[in-house]
Chains A and B, each alone.
With several copies, the nearest count.
Chain A
Amino acid sequence: MMDFAWTAEAEALRTEVRSFLAEHLPPELEERLYDTGDSHDADFVKALGERHWIAPDWPRDGFPRLGAEEVHVLENELTRVEAPIYACSTGMMVAKVMHAVGSDFLRDEIVPKVVRGEVTIALGMSEPEAGSDVAAIQSRAREVDGGWVLDGQKMFTTNGHLADYVFMLVRTDPESERHRGLTTFLVPLDLEGVEAQAVFTVSGERTNITYYSEVFLEDRWRISEVGAGWHSLMLALQDEHSAPFSPHLARLVERAEGWATTPGPDGAVPIEREDVRRRLVEAAVDLEVAELLEARTTWMEARGDVPVAEGPMSKLYSTEAGVRHAESLTAMVGPDALRSRTDPTAVADGMIEHSLRFSLGMTIYAGTSEVQRNIIAQQRCGMPRG
């Protein structure tokens, strides 16, 4: 029998998460994150870790292991309010790789700290000449007495200025090409020779270019076998569980509805206008669909299926709908919609303006819409590669 309702446990968790957020994500913290563009807050992450909400599907003494539906609700609630959890996701992505192929030191010393929210790990994969085509990387490490010396440069090291470590993919065999001769390391970000240079995005988040110049690294920080870096990277990416994207659309709709149901300076309530209702309905219908798609993906995960094209489909649908509706709802509000949050005359607290900018990155990061369409065509329509 089909059943589209969430479990009672999941609904109970939703309430719990919301009261957690009311306590741990006060307006001041939200404001600071907005102003700095940071995607991380150490206290918030520690509080999450104390509830075992960083890796809720990971076994830990004294804590229940959450089911897929509960994990979904937890992530949804956190994402909807833009809680600073990105360093946790990246940390757990790397923790799972270390758990699978890392040394005892990494597995026993580092992984538990990630789970508890005590340390965070940024990602160092992309390079100026290696975006989607990761195999084109040029950063390198050469073996020296007692360890390695790293040189290179990584793009988009989000949290590179706040995290404790960065997960680095580098070329250890200078003669090698493409996927061969690569090795992964966990690089402490406080080592000498490491530098993070701020890069701000259109939506105001801070990411970094990180530079590595003659960085000496003990061998215990090596994650993969020498030359087996590509395999360990694949382990990280294989974790098909993708972040939910519909909460971003939900946030936009919520803000727009808030504006529409509040009387304007002339006393008129915008939602009485037909075009306002039309635009809101279009967004609300797409939001319901996006949520349904994600619910189904969650249900597949709960069954142990791999949603190999469902994740891409959800991401494609939610993020493209996000762009479309951010534009439409901006037009709905009119010129004032473009004043930003830091402007005292901003409409809807400037958050429709922020959604408009934010939405443009969503169709790019974590695989562009073009890449998602290729995956869907190949995986679900049986089209040939290339």
Chain B
Amino acid sequence: MEFRLDEGQIELQRTVARFCADRFPLDALADREGRPVQADDWQALADLGVLGLLVPETDGGSGLGVVDAALVFEQLGDHLVPGPVLWSLLAAPLVGDVVTGGCMVAGVESSALSDGAVVVDHAAEIDVLLVVHPDHVSAHRLADLPAPVPLDAVDPLATVGRINGLGEGDRVGDAATAAQLRLLGTVLASAMLVGVSDRSLRVARDYALERHQFGVPIGSFQAIKHLLADMYVRTQCAQSAMYAAAAVLDDPDSSDPARAAAGAKLLAADAAIENATTAIQVLGGMGFTWDMLPNHLLKRAWATEQDFGTIDDHAAHLGATIDAMAS
């Protein structure tokens, strides 16, 4: 058994954390509201190797594993990094020029389709739309699609658009690829949510130590302490389950990847939403203002909960496969 990150992983984590703090500082969030992804930011993400993490080295990527990618996405969640990074990473092995930053990809699961239209994050900014169908994966050049209709985004740091009708697109993957993309997406979305949980905890913790009431830090009050303790426990549980799921994806014979991924998403989404909500409560009146971090963390948590299956979806999936859980 080994729960520790190896040295390469720790270095990777540090590098990404530094990069994010530098390029996406959280004290300047207001500047990022409603803004499209900036070209230089996207190029920098590509240059850092984020988009090609899972592409073999022979194809220009980093050839890393899912646990490594999970570490990176934890940081992206922690720093509220904008843009369709997850979908582009998933598409990188299937669509040209993604690794180098030359092609930005967003995507939807076909379950998101209704009356032929899809709602896509960053719809107006992307080059290619990836659609994960139950039995195959298709890619659609934005140029061939009707122009996206802009909508209000749940997460103010993103843009979102509705695309009315997709056409056929190019078939870029089979049923196995579709299944694999869904699993990877679920685990890496979980990783982002763990990042959001952990950031929420740290924001609340810092405030509880700084803010004084009646002459003492509010973190001296048992009610605040217990809120923080519960935030810590939620983060740790979600993180443990998420790493375990990532490890199972790296070694699919060791356990059931679909089950592990579903459990991770369920716990991570719950932890992120609850922790961001609790951060608002701990910060009190300030926490409830738009410009403060808890608002953005909660919006990111709500938005990411929707990606690759909601809490309810995953609970239903686990329910359907309960027999496999009987120990």
- A28 at interface (Cβ–Cβ under 8 A)? no
Is B143 at the interface (CB under 8 A from chain A)?
no
Contact residues of B between 51 and 91, Cβ < 8 Å to A:
67
Quick check: which of A41-49, A87-95, A367-375 contacts chain B, the rest being far away?
A: A367-375
State whether the Cβ of A317 lies closer than 8 Å to any Cβ in chain B: yes
C-alpha spacing A357/B233, complex, angstroms:
25
Q: Determine the chain B residues whose CB is within 8 A of the CB of A131 once the complex forms.
A: 213, 284-285
Per-position 1/0 for A345-386, Cβ under 8 A of B: 100000000000000110111001110111011101111101
- Of residues 201 through 243 on chain B, the ones whose CB sits less than 8 Å from some CB of chain A are 201, 205, 208-209, 212-214, 216-217, 219-226, 228-233, 236-237, 240-241, 243
Q: Which among A108-116, A166-174, A199-207 touches the partner chain?
A: A199-207
- Given A202-B289, A296-B3, A338-B306, check contact A284 B318 (CB 8 Å): yes
* A121 contacts the other chain (CB 8 A): no
The answer to the question of A15 belonging to the interface, with a C-beta cut-off of 8 Å to chain B, is no
Also in contact, A299 and B284, with CB within 8 A (given A289-B267, A383-B225)? no
B150: nearest chain-A partner, CB-CB: A343
In the assembled complex, the Cα of A383 lies from the Cα of B287 at a distance in Å of 19
Min CB distance A151 to B, Å, is: 22
Known contacts A1-B6, A360-B288, A368-B284; A282 and B315 CB within 8 A of each other: yes
Residues of B within 8 A of A364 (CB): 280-281, 284-285, 287-288
Within 8 Å CB of A309, what residues of B?
Answer: 232
Asked if A250 CB lies within 8 Å of chain B CBs, one says: yes
Nearest CB to that of B311 among chain A residues? A331
B27 CB within 8 Å of chain A: no
A100 to chain B, nearest CB (A): 27
Q: Which residues of A pack against B, CB within 8 Å?
A: 1-7, 69, 126, 129, 131-133, 136, 155-156, 199-204, 207, 250, 253-254, 257, 261, 265, 271, 274, 277-278, 280-282, 284-285, 288-289, 292-293, 295-296, 298-300, 302-303, 309, 313, 316-317, 323, 327, 331, 334-335, 338-340, 342-345, 360-361, 363-365, 368-370, 372-374, 376-378, 380-384, 386
B319 touches A281 (CB 8 A): yes
The answer for the CA separation of A46 and B289 in the assembled complex, in Å, is 30
Tell whether, in the assembled complex, residue B327 and residue A343 are in contact, meaning their CB atoms are under 8 Å apart. no
Identify 8 new A-B residue pairs, CB closer than 8 A, beyond the known A3-B1, A288-B241, A338-B303: A254-B327, A292-B237, A298-B1, A317-B237, A331-B310, A370-B224, A381-B201, A384-B216
Report the Cα distance A381→B230, complex, angstroms.
Answer: 11
B22 within 8 A of A: no
**Is B152 in the interface zone, CB < 8 Å from A?**
yes
Query: Contacts A2-B243, A373-B229 given: A201-B290 contact, CB under 8 Å?
Result: yes
21 contacts between A and B (CB under 8 A): A1-B6, A2-B4, A2-B67, A3-B2, A4-B3, A132-B213, A156-B285, A199-B291, A200-B291, A202-B290, A202-B295, A285-B266, A292-B240, A331-B312, A365-B285, A370-B223, A372-B229, A376-B232, A383-B205, A383-B220, A384-B217
User: Does any Cβ of A come within 8 Å of B154's Cβ?
Assistant: yes
Q: Interface size (B, Cβ < 8 Å)?
A: 80
Residues on B facing A (Cβ under 8 Å): 1-6, 67, 112, 114-115, 119, 151-152, 154, 162, 201, 205, 208-209, 212-214, 216-217, 219-226, 228-233, 236-237, 240-241, 243-244, 246-248, 254, 263, 266-267, 273, 277, 280-281, 284-291, 295, 298, 302-303, 306, 310-312, 315, 318-320, 322-323, 325-327
Q: Are B3 and A288 interface neighbours, CB within 8 A?
A: no
Across the interface, A292 reaches (CB within 8 A) one of B229, B244, B288, namely B244
Q: Are B240 and A373 in contact (CB under 8 A)?
A: no
**What residues on A are CB-neighbors of B119 within 8 Å?**
345
- Using Cβ atoms and an 8 Å threshold, which residues of chain A touch B225? 373-374, 377-378, 381, 383
In the complex, the answer to whether B288 meets A201 with C-beta atoms within 8 Å is yes
Minimal beta-carbon separation of B6 from chain A (angstroms): 6
Q: How far is the CA of A2 from the CA of B240 in the complex (A)?
A: 11
**Chain B neighbourhood of A369, CB < 8 A:** 281
Q: How far is the CA of A323 from the CA of B274 in the complex (A)?
A: 11
Give chain B residues whose Cβ lies under 8 Å from the Cβ of A373: 223, 225-226, 229-230
